[in-house]
Amino acid sequence: MSFLDFWQNLPSLVSPSFNLFGFSIQYYSLAYLFGFLAVYLLGLRSIAKFSLKIKRKDFENLCLNGFLMAILGGRVFYVLFYNLAYFLERPLEIIWPFNELGNFVGISGMSFHGGFIFTFLYLLFALKKYDISYKDFQIALVPQIPIAIFLGRLANFLNGELYGRVTESKIGMYFNDVLRHPSQLYEAFLEGILLFFILNYIKKTKQSKFLGAYLAGFYLLFRIFVEFFREPDVQLGLFWGFSMGQILSVLFLTLIFFLVKTIKSKES
C-alpha cells in the first residue's frame, strides 16, 4: 500500500472505541477526560511557575465547574441552534445517552459557542467570589485549553464525524466511500496545535490579560476558515452560502471585539 492509499483510507483503519476488560471505551469520552486533566495539571504547574495568587482548592473548583458549564452550554446551544425541531419532538434525547435498544451511545452534538459563553458567564461570577484576578486565572488556564480542543478534534476524526466536503484533492480521505476533506484534522492543527503556540507566546507579553479574548478570537477565525471545507450540518445546510458555525462565529467575534475595545477605552 502506498502512502497516498494509506492516507486516503485512514478513516477506515481507525476505530471510535477499543475494548478493555470486556468494556467498550469510546475515544470521545477519553478526549474529554484527558483534555480536562491536561488543562488542570498544566494549570497547577503555571500557578507554581508564575507564583499566581490562586489557591489549589479554588482552582480545582473553578476548573471542574467551568468544565461542567462548558458541557452544559455546548449542549444547550447545539439543541437551540443546530437541531431544535428534532429535539422538540424527542426532548428526552437531549440528556438521555441510550438508544431504543438500551445500548449506551452517549450524547452527541455540542457547540463551542455555547460552551464558551456559559463558561465565561460562570467565571465572571466565580472569580469575584474567590477573589482571583482575571489576569492570573487566564495565565493559569487559557494557554492549555487548545490541548483539549486538539483531543476533541482527533476524537471527531476517529468517530468519522464532522468530516469535510467532497474534494478531488489528494489530501482528501474516504469517509463512507466518498473522498472528502479531513476537516477534523484541519481543525486539530489550527485550533489545537497552532493556537496552543499562539496563546503561550501571548502569555509572555503585556497582552496576557486578554488571553481569553485571544483564545476565542483565534478559534473563531480558524473555525470560519475551516467551515469552508467542512460538510454543513445535513439538517441545516447553508444560509446564503454560510454555515451556522460561521454565522455564530462572526457574531461572537464581533461581540468580543467590541468588549475588548470597551475595556481598553476605560483603562486609557
HSE-CB for 181 with a 13 A CA cutoff: 16
pLDDT value at 118 more than 70: yes
pLDDT of residue 266: 76
* 103, 34, 150, 122: CA torsion to nearest 10: 90
pLDDT value at 29 more than 90: no
pLDDT value at 104 more than 70: no
pLDDT of residue 181: 97
pLDDT of residue 101: 60
Instruction: Give me the residue label for grid cell 454560510.
Output: 242
Candidate from 29-43, 102-116, 119-133, 188-202 with smallest mean pLDDT:
102-116
Cβ atoms of residues 174 and 11 within 8 Å: yes
pLDDT value at 43 more than 70: yes
Q: For 50-70, what is each residue's pLDDT tens digit?
A: 889 999 999 999 999 999 999
Candidate from 125-129, 163-167, 188-192 with smallest mean pLDDT:
125-129
pLDDT value at 103 more than 80: no
pLDDT of residue 166: 97
List all residues 6 or more positions away from 132 whose beta carbon is below 8 Å from its beta carbon: 53, 54, 58, 62
Query: Residue 81 burial (CB < 10 Å; 0-12/13-18/19+)?
Result: middle
User: To which H or E segment does residue 19 belong?
Assistant: strand 17-20
* Average pLDDT of the chain to the nearest whole number: 91
**Domains of the chain: total:** 1
Q: For 132-160, what is each residue's pLDDT tens digit?
A: 999 999 999 999 999 999 999 999 999 99
Q: For 236-247, what is each residue's pLDDT tens digit?
A: 889 999 999 999
User: DSSP letter at 194?
Assistant: I
pLDDT of residue 102: 62
For a pLDDT cut of 70, what percent of the chain falls above it?
96
For a pLDDT cut of 90, what percent of the chain falls above it?
73
Range of the domain at 171: 3-267
Long-range contacts of 249-253 (CB under 8 A, 24+ apart): 249/113, 249/220, 249/221, 249/223, 249/224, 250/220, 250/224, 252/113, 252/116, 252/117, 252/216, 252/220, 253/216, 253/217, 253/220, 253/221, 253/224
Cβ atoms of residues 38 and 72 within 8 Å: no
Q: Which residue has the higher pLDDT, 267 or 207?
A: 207
Q: Helix 27-49 vs helix 134-141: angle between axes, to the nearest 10 degrees?
A: 130
Cβ atoms of residues 253 and 217 within 8 Å: yes
pLDDT value at 120 more than 80: yes
The backbone torsions φ and ψ at residue 195, rounded to the nearest 5 degrees and listed phi first, read -65, -35
pLDDT of residue 16: 85
Q: Identify the band that residue 208 occupies on the pLDDT scale cut at 50, 70 and 90.
A: confident
